[in-house]
Structure 1
Amino acid sequence: MGSYVLRRVLQMIPVFFGTTFLIFVMVYTLPGDPVVALFGEKAADPSVVASIKHTYYLDQPLWKQYLHYMGNLFQGDFGTSFTGRPVADIMADAFPVTIRLALLAFVFEIVVGLGFGVVSGLKRGSIADTVVLVLTLVVISIPVFVLAYIAQTVFATNLGWVTPTVQDSYDLTQLILPAVVLASLSLAFVARLTRTSIGENLRADYIRTATAKGLPRRTVITRHLLRNSLIPVITFLGTDLGALMGGAIVTEGIFNVQGIGNVLYRAINQKEGPTVVGIVTVLVIIYLVASLLVDLLYAVLDPRIRLA
């Protein structure tokens, strides 16, 4: 098991460098000069522009800029934004909000999505199964920004249960509605994926053998059916945690959540390369760690993977 973990960690190294390099290239080769854009409509003094570019290492070839960035990164320095504020400080203010929002959405996705999927999978063809299929199809068909507007209208304007936008991004109760909206699409996929996986495993030989041996139905479901059925679901959930954090841009914008999505959106609009690269680098690390944890969970759910 230890050698397997070591191999997976070693595989993450080229993925990390390759991904961050592609992100770096895409951000810093965008059309337009971000330094000139800082001056707005005013004419930029060439000497001042040259000085700023030298300060941010923008006067060097792209590969040198990347090596310079990675060298600073391994020292814990994510760079400095064009406003003079360290990118690490910007992320330290915004990431805790997005982490709360994403974890709330993730819990809702697991509890409701898995619950719906298990009920639907065990009772295929029933009224409950039909209701789950219809509801998840509706959720998948509605864009997130439309779903957010509907949620604001129903729960804030009509029922008055919540405020239309978040007033305090550090108040966990105010993040519940944005979290539900953020989790809605993933929840629908989890429910359908769980239903399909359970349906396939119910027809497997090992389930028929366990039932023929006279094992209680609860034991067959919990110890045999669910453990094998959850493997593809765990794969989706592992990668989705990073997707929830990266995909929170729309949700945070609509509900005025002062998280990393809002910061990233503003940074892209203002061509704040250091901020964009720093945030996305952290998201890449989150994806890689989540992927590693998913691989370790495989061994817990299926002993054959652990032995292999």
Structure 2
Amino acid sequence: MGRYVARRLLQMIPVFIGTTLLIFLMVYSLPGDPVRALWGDRPVDPVALNQLRHEYWFDRPVLLQYWHYISNVFTGNFGTSFVTGRKVTDVIGESFPVTLRLALVAFAIEIVIGLALGLLSGLNRGKIADKFVLGLTLLLISVPVFVLGYIFQTVFGNQLGWVTPTVQDSNDISQLILPGVVLGSLSFAYVARLSRTSIAENMRADYIRTAVAKGLPRRRVIGVHLLRNSLIPVVTFLGTDLGALMGGAIVTEGIFNVHGIGNELYRSINQSDNATVVGIVTVLVIIYLVTSLVVDLLYAALDPRIRYV
């Protein structure tokens, strides 16, 4: 196991470098001069313009800029925003915990509701409960997130008054429940469908018939044998979805006024704040790589037939 983890960590290095290089080149090759845009319609001071370009390495070749950036990243320095003058690590440090809490609320909702609906549907394949779950999940998959967000905001916030329509305190996790439901709605629909298919297939497996023939209690057959072996494709989706929840929270955070990574990324893109955009995306890449490793290690815990050497 130790050798496998070490090998995977070494494989992450070229993946990380290749991904961040691609992102860096895409962001910094966009047309326009972000430093010149700081002056807007006002006359430009050539001395100050050249000084800022030199300070933020805009007067060097793009590959040299990337080498400077990635060298600082490995020391924990993600650069400084030339728009706000703040360190990118400070910006991420303020907004990242908010998005993390929102993503964890959505993640918990998709696990609990998604697995419950998938188990209900898989155990009652072809019955009314199965058709209801399939219809509900198809509806959630078909409705865009921004539409669902405005519906939930209008119904539960403005009309019923159960929650505040917009988040007043992003550090209050109770106010993140409604945006968490919206953010996790598409994901728990996929979880329900994945788990439903996997459970329905495993219900016909030989080891399930053997467990039933041996007289094991139904709770043990479902909980230990059926559900454990049916979770492998679900765990794969959940592992990659945690990073997607954090990166895809831009729309949800905008609707519910959540001051997290999504809002900060949207602001940075609008203001051509390249350093902040690349820094945030770099953190998301790291999250994807770590969750991918954790998912691979969970396979062995779920299926004893899987061994890593």
Is the pair's TM-score, using the shorter chain for normalization, greater than 0.5?
Answer: yes
For residues 41 and 307 of structure 2, the distance between their equivalents in structure 1, rounded to whole angstroms, comes to 62
Query: Unaligned 5+ residue runs, structure 1?
Result: none
Match of 2:97 in 1: 96
Matched, 1:60 2:60: yes
Percent of matched pairs sharing the same residue: 71
TM-score between both structures, scaled by the size of structure 1: 0.97
Match of 2:251 in 1: 250
Q: How does 1:284-299 map to 2 (within 5 A)?
A: 284-299=285-300
Match of 1:20 in 2: 20
The Cα shift of 1:168 comes to 0.9
Match of 1:42 in 2: 42
Match of 2:280 in 1: 279
* 3-state SS in 2 of match to 1:303: coil
Match of 2:127 in 1: 126
For residues 265 and 259 of structure 1, the distance between their equivalents in structure 2, rounded to whole angstroms, comes to 10
Query: Unaligned 5+ residue runs, structure 2?
Result: none
Cα shift readout 1:98-149 (whole Å, capped 9, x = no counterpart): 0110001100110001110011101111221111111111111100000001
The Cα shift of 1:41 comes to 1.3
Q: How does 1:177-196 map to 2 (within 5 A)?
A: 177-196=178-197
Match of 2:268 in 1: 267
Match of 2:29 in 1: 29
Match of 1:204 in 2: 205
- Asked whether the equivalents of residues 4 and 308 of structure 2 are also in contact (C-alpha less than 8 Å), the reply is no
State which drifts further: 43-52 or 118-127: 43-52
Q: How does 1:96-245 map to 2 (within 5 A)?
A: 96-245=97-246
Moved over 6 A (4+): none
* 3-state SS in 2 of match to 1:280: helix
The Cα shift of 1:240 comes to 0.4
Match of 1:10 in 2: 10
For residues 43 and 190 of structure 1, the distance between their equivalents in structure 2, rounded to whole angstroms, comes to 55
The Cα shift of 1:215 comes to 2.7
Cα shift readout 1:30-62 (whole Å, capped 9, x = no counterpart): 111111111111132233221111000111111
For residues 121 and 175 of structure 1, the distance between their equivalents in structure 2, rounded to whole angstroms, comes to 31
* 3-state SS in 1 of match to 2:192: helix
- Asked whether the equivalents of residues 121 and 198 of structure 1 are also in contact (C-alpha less than 8 Å), the reply is yes
Match of 1:69 in 2: 69
Equivalent residue letter for 1:169: S
For residues 163 and 216 of structure 2, the distance between their equivalents in structure 1, rounded to whole angstroms, comes to 48
Equivalent residue letter for 1:55: E
For residues 230 and 210 of structure 1, the distance between their equivalents in structure 2, rounded to whole angstroms, comes to 18
For residues 163 and 303 of structure 2, the distance between their equivalents in structure 1, rounded to whole angstroms, comes to 43
For residues 146 and 129 of structure 1, the distance between their equivalents in structure 2, rounded to whole angstroms, comes to 26
Alignment RMSD (CA, Å): 1.1
